[in-house]
């Protein structure tokens, strides 16, 4: 991890996943499901947990927005996109509420926790680097 990457990890309030993220834990995760079933599983996961409050959903766009009500408050957007039959990508974007302009990696650490919980709900295929 470069100095710039360490700086970005700890000294900002926003983290998001992408195909070729430098941190393997923050790469797009793929699940063996359809967009509709993936969307429903993500929605059900957020509804079941008292740590999340759904504030907006668009099944057409494959997005669910929630407030994370944990130790620190954060805004989470989950994007669900079917890229092939029974191969659905789920990306996460998290912005931590903070009075200072950094969260010491909190948003960065929250993404793998959400992915681990989703892996219990859906059949995990892998990340872009595992294809």
Model pLDDT for residues 32-87, shown as the tens digit of each residue: 999 999 999 999 999 999 999 999 999 999 999 999 998 899 999 999 999 999 99
Residue 5 has a pLDDT of 64
Residue 1 has a pLDDT of 59
Radius of gyration, alpha carbons of the chain: 14
What pLDDT band is residue 117 in, cutting at 50, 70 and 90? very high
Rounded mean pLDDT, 13-22: 92
Residue 65 has a pLDDT of 98
Q: 111 or 99: which carries more pLDDT confidence?
A: 111
Between CA 53 and CA 76 the distance in angstroms is 10
Rounded mean pLDDT, 13-17: 92
Between CA 76 and CA 56 the distance in angstroms is 11
What pLDDT band is residue 15 in, cutting at 50, 70 and 90? very high
Three-state SS string over the chain comes to: CCHHHHHHHHCCCEEECECCCCCHHHECEEECCCHHHHHHHHHHHHHHCCCEEEEEEECCCCEEEEEEECCCEEEEEEEEEEEECCEEEEEEEEEECCCCCCCCCHHHHHHHHHHHHHHHHCCEEEEHHHC
Residue 96 has a pLDDT of 94
Task: State the CB neighbour count (10 A cutoff) for residue 7.
Answer: 11
Model pLDDT for residues 81-109, shown as the tens digit of each residue: 999 999 999 999 999 997 777 788 889 99
**CATH number of the structural domain 31-125:** 3.30.310.80
């Amino acid at each position: 991890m470069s100095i710039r990457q360490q700086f970005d990890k700890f000294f900002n309030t926003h983290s998001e996943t992408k195909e070729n993220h430098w941190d393997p834990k923050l790469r797009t995760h793929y699940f063996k499901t359809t967009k509709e079933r993936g969307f429903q599983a993500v929605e059900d996961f957020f509804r079941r947990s008292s740590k999340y409050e759904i504030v907006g959903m668009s099944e057409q766009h494959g997005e669910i927005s929630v407030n994370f009500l944990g130790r620190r408050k954060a805004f989470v957007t989950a994007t669900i996109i079917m890229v092939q039959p029974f191969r659905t990508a789920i990306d996460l974007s998290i912005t931590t509420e903070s009075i200072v302009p950094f969260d010491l990696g909190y948003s960065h650490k929250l993404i793998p926790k959400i992915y681990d919980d989703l892996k219990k709900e859906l059949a995990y295929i892998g990340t872009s680097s595992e294809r």
